[in-house]
Amino acid sequence: MKYRKNEAKEYAREILKGVWTALPYNFTEDDRLDEPGIAFNLEHCISRLQIEGHYCSGNVAEFWAMTNEERMRAHEINVETAKGRIPLIAGCHHQNPYEAVALARHAQEVGFDFVIILTPYIAVRCDDALYDYYRFIADRVEIGIVLFNIPQTYYPISEHLTKRLAEIPNICGFKQAGPAPAATISLREAVGDKLVVSVADETPWLYNLSVMGDRWLLNYCPHLYQVPGYLPVRDYTRAALGGDMNRATEIARTVNPLRAMHAKWITGYGRPTGHVPSAEMKYWMELIGMVGGPVRVPCREMTEQAKKQLRADLEATGLPAKAAAGGGKRSG
Amino acid sequence: MKYRKNEAKEYAREILKGVWTALPYNFTEDDRLDEPGIAFNLEHCISRLQIEGHYCSGNVAEFWAMTNEERMRAHEINVETAKGRIPLIAGCHHQNPYEAVALARHAQEVGFDFVIILTPYIAVRCDDALYDYYRFIADRVEIGIVLFNIPQTYYPISEHLTKRLAEIPNICGFKQAGPAPAATISLREAVGDKLVVSVADETPWLYNLSVMGDRWLLNYCPHLYQVPGYLPVRDYTRAALGGDMNRATEIARTVNPLRAMHAKWITGYGRPTGHVPSAEMKYWMELIGMVGGPVRVPCREMTEQAKKQLRADLEATGLPAKAAAGGGKRSG
Amino acid sequence: MKYRKNEAKEYAREILKGVWTALPYNFTEDDRLDEPGIAFNLEHCISRLQIEGHYCSGNVAEFWAMTNEERMRAHEINVETAKGRIPLIAGCHHQNPYEAVALARHAQEVGFDFVIILTPYIAVRCDDALYDYYRFIADRVEIGIVLFNIPQTYYPISEHLTKRLAEIPNICGFKQAGPAPAATISLREAVGDKLVVSVADETPWLYNLSVMGDRWLLNYCPHLYQVPGYLPVRDYTRAALGGDMNRATEIARTVNPLRAMHAKWITGYGRPTGHVPSAEMKYWMELIGMVGGPVRVPCREMTEQAKKQLRADLEATGLPAKAAAGGGKRSG
Amino acid sequence: MKYRKNEAKEYAREILKGVWTALPYNFTEDDRLDEPGIAFNLEHCISRLQIEGHYCSGNVAEFWAMTNEERMRAHEINVETAKGRIPLIAGCHHQNPYEAVALARHAQEVGFDFVIILTPYIAVRCDDALYDYYRFIADRVEIGIVLFNIPQTYYPISEHLTKRLAEIPNICGFKQAGPAPAATISLREAVGDKLVVSVADETPWLYNLSVMGDRWLLNYCPHLYQVPGYLPVRDYTRAALGGDMNRATEIARTVNPLRAMHAKWITGYGRPTGHVPSAEMKYWMELIGMVGGPVRVPCREMTEQAKKQLRADLEATGLPAKAAAGGGKRSG
């Protein structure tokens, strides 16, 4: 570990910033981990997209369809590939707090900077149970923990409860997937001095950065919206931090066709009866020079017709052409 | 009417823009409409806060606790006070489509520019029923209709359904209270060429204006955040439209303490078990030189302790001092 | 009024019992109240189906699509038709507590026994607001009030809150549409000595009657399941009260095909995206010798194909044939 | 396996009937499996309570806080204890279909009759994903699978989807925890000839048995409500099956005080913000001669005050005295 448990909050303030992404995992046709594919995509993000940090094993990574052993191996691949060039967070989400501990301890041992743990999706529907769940894990690991709140789907982490959790030494961040701006404002008021808060959505990032004072974007869009030679999220972030909001705004506007693509193809699961769009993400990635490949049950492959439409829509944004121009396709 | 039914969409594009507010209604101690109070507040918004339009009888206006006769009288007061200086929209929300028609016809006759109608809160839980509800009303009035979507609480108006509704000649706007940015992006893609879309939240307005291309803010915050001599929402909007995003951003940042006040005191109803914060809004208004006064059941008056705390919080933002410096308190 | 306000609970225990039904209202082809139709159906229930009480203006009655004047007129028709032969409850549901008071006062004046008021569907999402809503109405009328809880759709009336409400003198009953048996058990424990509780579902009625000690069924199925000469709900209720559970069970079993009809055609609104099945109810009624007729927006007429299928399904149960054999079709 | 995969439905009709229970697992003070405790409780159910089948690793068993290894070991203890005297179902619920397969294969190998698998609590929010999840598992095991539907909390298994699932050879039962009677009627209509349906609630069991034709109760109440010498659930079931509904009803009525206990102490998790009442169940069991003991995070131990109150409430029902009279306390 790069820091002691009681330094976790301080270390988080130093490390948790900039534009991060969250990659899917890749699988082979015979349903094993595609280790080279996983490594290729991360290398692509680091060296070609200049991503500033990586969150492994998120919802987009189909972690729920991987065994703990596979998840641990995938974490190792991340560490081996990153070689310390960027900080890494390991998603250690599990229905079982004991297994979340096992995953977090492994992440700690192999060299992750932090772990992130989602509100449990079973057995927790009151504040005390949620507090006990996180406390149980935090007490058993040294590594810093980022909370992950998806109030649309799971029991929410209120700002009141977050204040209690923020007293735990190695709880040090909050990934907010609840979309209501007022709830996030309350959260920043309640714990902004203790936890690093990240809104899990690229769309309002420029605003959150320039007006709200956020410093960390933790979201899967940066590798979908950017290709070598076209790094708009990075560029508008830099422009904003550099004090040129006109330029930042102008760049951010160029992303609108990609945001519309994303709204059309990727956000279905956020709807009352939607599906997890892992196949759509992977196909999008294939179209811009990254590794995609098959998905696991209960995610479903796209139909040929849907792929044709997605491809046409994405080509209409010009992104695949930019990717082709920028180079970087995996050989073989 | 200032336009013919089949010109509603065109007229909407011309009129529905800029910073609008939505005022509460005021009541006397003996529970009648406080007509001078209502007129005072609107005059304050027009002549002192330079608000560009007014949405009457919204959720903040306790319309559900007013008879149709009171609502119509309140609409007349709005027209009489505005004297054509700003455009007006009348909230004609009703459980009963027949009474929504009666309210909308009255608004049309007394000179409103548009009406706005919320998804019905009873008897509608499928797309066809929602379509029929709006169609029934639209067929029976000439005036243009703005749809109002609160998917957290009522049956949502999906972008698919909105496309069907947008074919009706006098449906011409969409007030979006759903907070998910991706859903609003889908909506703009689906009907942005036909309907004027407004996100019902001041917080992301600068972003929606500068990056997303929105032109209309329809929200109750402008009269809570602004006082004579301090018009930040107006000012950052103008700066953004004038191409100075650095200045817009700087001004928008000054509103953060007020947004935190709002998140703390006003947004409770958005939570699973919250209350409608009419008393809090009215007390806030009293502290900045506007008319407040009692609320109606089922809203509840604040305790003295809560008022003391709200007052201290608001004073800490400096807004009441700015209001006092800017003048404008109602005599008597 | 047949009792004084402070006798409401006592009167309720005497009157609120047996098998009641809740009829739809009928409308003419030119969208006015079909007064003879309304009277015919109630007379049918009283003299041919031997129903023991009637709840007017319920959810099945499309009250949300009627003006207050129409609702009051419909209430008068009920009183004029019943002529004191059975007790009557008037549904005075309204978004507006002031108008709920007006409806309840009218019901009180024209001779109703009780009123029933649904949890408000707007502006109430905390216990205090719900308490204030009911208290406001109860304070302004003499007549006894039955609470109506649909926790699937509106803010629920918890057993804790019901205990507070049960202290109000003229709150005297509770129509429970929440389906969880444990919640109803908690409710009976909390207020069973003060309020008459009725589970709003025919299916578990025999059980609630024989094992749980309930005495009142308040539901719209009795006039759908029974025809002159076949009165199974009445008969199994009598058998159970008379101590012959074998016969009660045997009769209750004969209703199963009708319960399946009901589950297939009528309960859609209880599903996440269902519609209010008023047209289906009315068509069913037409097929068994009652008056049906058109529905109002936002309810929708059935397609011819759906009608054909419903008719075939209902005929397969044998009910229309029993109705024809039992006589009672309205002439003309 | 006692049957071939394509005989699963037939075997299910033969085996899945009568009064089953679902026990909690017991843990030692140092947080390991209390193997003798687990065996004691099952023996108690078989030889003293005459329970007709056991569902292991249900929601009451805190399976989410056990590793797969612990769950498999607990399944072995069940098989070793039952010694073939009663049929057994293993709960193989898991966020991960691959691990659900591993658990189901183990259950198949050690001699279970069936497995039961809950709708996944993550990654499934559309019918196709749910179908694929169950299909993936069913294709990889021989053993028969019972579906488990908790629509209040997880993505529901509609009757339409159940029809598709019922075509899979080794899907053979449905545990229905949705409380709406009409939904269960639709379900029986849709698949009652293919799947054995059990309503997961003791309260309406007598009704479902005598009127609806159900033959299987799968619920955790039988070991909470019954003690040696007082076996009311068994007795009223037998009376009903034997054609004496008066006696069945009379016995069922005696359980009412225990149902009220259950509604007060155990059903909190069914409420919007409740907790999982494992500690309450275990303490209840201790008071009637069974093994209780500590719970695992995120379940929480009861306070001393709460225990005192639960004990007083349970003693008021007379159950602990009956248990003491009936003997059977574990020595040591």
Lookup: tokens for C63: 């009250």
Cβ neighbors of D53 (< 8 A, separation 6 or more) are D15, D16, D18, D19, D20, D86, D87, D88, D89, D218
Nearest to A298 among D65, D67, D120 (CB): D120
Q: Nearest residue on chain D to C240, judged by CA atoms?
A: D246
pLDDT band for position A275 (50/70/90)? confident
Length of chain A (residues): 332
Q: How far apart are CA B178 and CA B201, in angstroms?
A: 10
Q: How far apart are CA A274 and CA D129, in angstroms?
A: 9
Nearest to A211 among B181, B252, B260 (CB): B252
Of B13-27, B118-132, C256-270, D168-182, the poorest mean pLDDT is in C256-270
Flag if A95 and D95 touch (Cβ within 8 Å).
yes
**pLDDT value at B274 more than 50:** yes
Lookup: tokens for D1: 């396996």
Flag if A122 and D300 touch (Cβ within 8 Å).
no
Flag if A211 and B249 touch (Cβ within 8 Å).
yes
Flag if C94 and B95 touch (Cβ within 8 Å).
yes
pLDDT at position D180 is 92
DSSP state of D301: P
Flag if D259 and C206 touch (Cβ within 8 Å).
no
Rg (CA), chain D: 19
Q: How far apart are CA D204 and CA D207, in angstroms?
A: 5
pLDDT at position D268 is 63
Burial class of residue B253 in the structure, from the number of CB atoms within 10 Å of its CB (0-12 exposed, 13-18 middle, 19+ buried): middle
Strand intervals (E) in C130-225: 144-149, 171-176, 196-199, 216-218
Flag if C66 and B125 touch (Cβ within 8 Å).
no
DSSP state of C267: G
Residue B299 has φ and ψ, to the nearest 5°, of -70, 155
Chains that touch C (3 or more CB pairs under 8 A): B, D
pLDDT band for position C328 (50/70/90)? low
CA–CA distances in Å: residue B200 to residues B59, B75, B150: 12, 21, 10
Flag if C263 and D201 touch (Cβ within 8 Å).
no
**pLDDT value at B152 more than 90:** no
Cβ neighbors of D242 (< 8 A, separation 6 or more) are none
pLDDT band for position A152 (50/70/90)? confident
Lookup: tokens for C319: 């009910």
- Pinpoint the alpha helices (H) of A142-180: 159-165
Cα-Cα-Cα-Cα torsion C159, C160, C162, C164, nearest 10 degrees, comes to 160
pLDDT at position A125 is 86
Tokens 């076209």 correspond to: A230
Binding-site residues on chain C for chain B (CB distance < 8 A): 59, 62, 64-67, 94-99, 120-130, 132-133, 135-136, 269, 272-276, 296-300
Residues of C in contact with B64 (CB under 8 A): 95-96, 120, 122-123
Q: How far apart are CA A98 and CA A285, in angstroms?
A: 34
Distance from CA of B297 to the nearest CA of C (A): 6
Residues of C in contact with B66 (CB under 8 A): 96, 98
Mean pLDDT across the stretch C35-56? Answer: 98
Cβ neighbors of C69 (< 8 A, separation 6 or more) are none
Of C119-123, C182-186, D57-61, D326-330, the poorest mean pLDDT is in D326-330
SS3 B4: coil
Chains that touch B (3 or more CB pairs under 8 A): A, C
pLDDT at position C331 is 44
The DSSP string of A174-193 is EEE----HHHHHHHHHHHTT
pLDDT at position C332 is 39
**pLDDT value at C2 more than 70:** yes
Flag if C120 and B298 touch (Cβ within 8 Å).
yes
pLDDT at position D154 is 87
CA B220, distance to chain mean position in Å, is: 5
Distance from CA of D43 to the nearest CA of C (A): 29
Q: How far apart are CA A62 and CA A60, in angstroms?
A: 6
Exposure string over A120-135, b if 16+ CB within 10 A, otherwise e: bbbbbbbbebbbbbbb
**pLDDT value at A154 more than 80:** yes
- Pinpoint the alpha helices (H) of B168-301: 181-191, 205-210, 222-225, 232-241, 245-254, 256-265, 278-287
Q: Nearest residue on chain A to B240, judged by CA atoms?
A: A246
Q: How far apart are CA C132 and CA C143, in angstroms?
A: 18
Burial class of residue C144 in the structure, from the number of CB atoms within 10 Å of its CB (0-12 exposed, 13-18 middle, 19+ buried): buried
ipTM for the complex? 0.95
Burial class of residue D179 in the structure, from the number of CB atoms within 10 Å of its CB (0-12 exposed, 13-18 middle, 19+ buried): buried
DSSP state of B268: G
Residue type (1 letter), A168: I
Tokens 């789907």 correspond to: A153
Residue type (1 letter), D289: G
Query: Which residues of chain D, if any, have pLDDT below 50?
Result: 331-332
Q: How many CB pairs under 8 A join A and D?
A: 109
Nearest to C180 among D253, D260, D270 (CB): D270
Residues of A in contact with D275 (CB under 8 A): 125-126, 128-129
Flag if A244 and B246 touch (Cβ within 8 Å).
yes
Instruction: Evaluate the CA torsion angle C64, C68, C69, C72 in order and state its sign.
Output: positive
For C92-108, write each residue's pLDDT tens digit.
Answer: 999 999 999 999 999 99
Cβ neighbors of C224 (< 8 A, separation 6 or more) are C258, C262, C266, C281, C284, C285, C288
Flag if D263 and C189 touch (Cβ within 8 Å).
yes
For C195-209, write each residue's pLDDT tens digit.
Answer: 999 999 999 999 999
Mean pLDDT across the stretch A160-182? Answer: 96
Give the residue from A190, A255, A188, A238 showing the smallest Cα distance to B203: A188
pLDDT at position D332 is 39
Give the residue from B195, C210, C49, C30 showing the smallest Cα distance to D251: C210
CB A159 within 8 A of CB A190: yes
**pLDDT value at B328 more than 80:** no
Residue type (1 letter), A332: G
Tokens 């009759």 correspond to: D113
- Best of B31, B60, B62, B64 to disrupt the C interface (most C CBs within 10 Å) is B64
For A31-54, write each residue's pLDDT tens digit.
Answer: 999 999 999 999 999 999 999 999
SS3 C271: coil
Q: How far apart are CA B329 and CA B288, in angstroms?
A: 8
Residue D206 has φ and ψ, to the nearest 5°, of -60, -40
pLDDT at position A331 is 44
- Best of D105, D125, D150, D276 to disrupt the A interface (most A CBs within 10 Å) is D125
Nearest to B298 among C65, C132, C299 (CB): C132
Residue type (1 letter), B216: W
- Best of D96, D128, D276 to disrupt the A interface (most A CBs within 10 Å) is D96
**pLDDT value at B42 more than 90:** yes
Lookup: tokens for D148: 């488990």
Q: How far apart are CA D136 and CA A276, in angstroms?
A: 17
Tokens 């034997």 correspond to: D242
Mean pLDDT across the stretch B11-21? Answer: 98
Give the residue from B215, B232, B241 showing the smallest Cα distance to B326: B232
Residues of C in contact with B274 (CB under 8 A): 125-126
Binding-site residues on chain B for chain A (CB distance < 8 A): 179-183, 185-186, 188-189, 201, 203-204, 206-207, 210-213, 243-246, 248-249, 252-253, 256, 259-260, 262-264, 267, 270
Give the residue from A42, A22, A83, A84 showing the smallest Cα distance to A266: A22
pLDDT at position C272 is 56
Flag if D204 and C207 touch (Cβ within 8 Å).
yes
Flag if D270 and C182 touch (Cβ within 8 Å).
yes
Flag if C245 and D245 touch (Cβ within 8 Å).
yes
Residues of B in contact with C67 (CB under 8 A): 96, 98-99
Distance from CA of A44 to the nearest CA of B (A): 26
Q: For chain B, what is the mean pLDDT?
A: 95
